Amino acid sequence: MKKTDNKQTKHKRLLVINDHGIFGGGTENRIRTLLVKFLETSFFEEIHVLQIYPTDAQKQELLPESIKARLFIHTIKQNYFFQTRELIQKHAIDIVQCHNLMAIGLLPLLAARTKNIPVVFYAHDYWPICGYRSFMDPSSFEKPQLCKKDHSFGRAICLSLKSQIKYFFWKKVLNLSTLGIATGKNMVETYEKNTVLHEKWRIITPWINPFFFERTYPTRALSLRKQKMIPHSILFVGSLLPFKGAFVAVQTMKLLVAKFPHAQLLLVGSEQEHDSPYRQKLENIATYDNTLKNIQFLGKKTTEELRLLHRSSSVFVFPTVCMESFGQSWAEAMADGCPVILTDISTLPEYINHKETGLLIRPNDPRALAEAVISVFQNNDFAATIAKKGTKYARTHFSLDNTYPQICTLYSEL
């Protein structure tokens, strides 16, 4: 039997370790989609998830009935190291899959290796080698100029001496992983420059929820499609945490309203409660610029509601100032036919052909973002062209069906 046969493999039970488990943001959505695929194809007989934050029981009900009896979620309640070893032994785990461990830390990875269990590390971003994301408060990204674009310095120079020591040991433990999966060439080069998992990397293109490839829409969506788009509307989807770059989009509005006084910035995502310090900071910027009337805080939306916004907005912006490796929100918008504007940073240029499938701008540059948005507003044919080409690219490249055989091959070879 060939190793690439998705129906059978020498691995029987998988343990997945991630701070937020399989429910949360883009990373968790990708994890959940992959695990469902693993179980539906019987690549694994049983999967266990170890997380630090509890999961809402209602969310678990969204899982397909066919896999619920074989997917088990565990919340860390004791020493991370010993609980991981106990799970591995009790459930006969034979492979461990690690994701974002900013809260949990690397002790579970160390525990797996002491049991001689293969570990696959998914690098969804640069948190293990970024001082702001790992050793400082990731919410306090007040000085983005300290974030080096290429991280090629080999050490986190923004750290204190004490944190440098911790950082050194983190890399030592991370290097015990059997295999690293990266989202692009830039990520591999960056980790390699920082002496992490040398020559152990494989590149797997990220995937998005298959729901965004469906061409059928609810009745209310069909009625909305018959209407005109929301004129001169800019959609941002993501947390208001500073490194996501929402403040860049807000600063851009002052430049936009001079030409388009009725332009609207639609902010979707978390941290949008009235008492949120991040929302208050953005409102202060908009009040100072006299553009608060042009900004709507829409909060969290369901997948169906998000698709409606994709279909009705003029352009989607992803002005991150951090070394994010992908950013699922823009890929979903692209798949839904919305023109996208991304920061030219990290692996993002590897997915966007500038002025063909989207637009790329300099990081932390409101004027550059404004110019890109205006180019979309002023040229409907240009906007329609990049939207159409972007959708075709997303449907071709961001489907798990395309990358799943590669993942199965890698796991079978461990």
Domains 13-207+399-412 and 210-397 in one fold: yes
> For residues 124 and 70, what is the distance between their CA atoms, to the nearest angstrom?
25
> For residues 195 and 228, what is the distance between their CA atoms, to the nearest angstrom?
52
Query: Which one, of 21, 80, 15, lies nearest residue 45 by Cα?
Result: 15
> For residues 332 and 390, what is the distance between their CA atoms, to the nearest angstrom?
11
- For domain 13-207+399-412, which architecture applies? 3-Layer(aba) Sandwich (3.40)
pLDDT along the chain (414 residues), means of 10: 45 92 89 96 96 81 90 88 94 94 89 95 86 61 48 58 81 95 93 91 94 65 48 94 91 96 96 92 95 96 92 95 87 96 94 97 94 96 96 94 95 93
Tell me the pLDDT tens digit for each residue of 329-370.
999 999 999 999 999 988 999 999 999 999 999 988 999 999
Predicted confidence at residue 4, as pLDDT, reads 42
Q: What is the DSSP letter of 317?
A: E
Query: What are the beta bridge partners of residue 120?
Result: 97, 179
Predicted confidence at residue 227, as pLDDT, reads 45
Predicted confidence at residue 149, as pLDDT, reads 46
- For domain 210-397, which architecture applies? 3-Layer(aba) Sandwich (3.40)
Structural domain spans, the chain: 13-207+399-412, 210-397
SS3 content of the chain, % helix, strand, coil (to 5): 45, 15, 40
Report phi then psi at 165, rounded to 5.
Answer: -65, -45
Tell me the pLDDT tens digit for each residue of 27-38.
899 999 999 999
pTM above 0.85, yes or no: yes
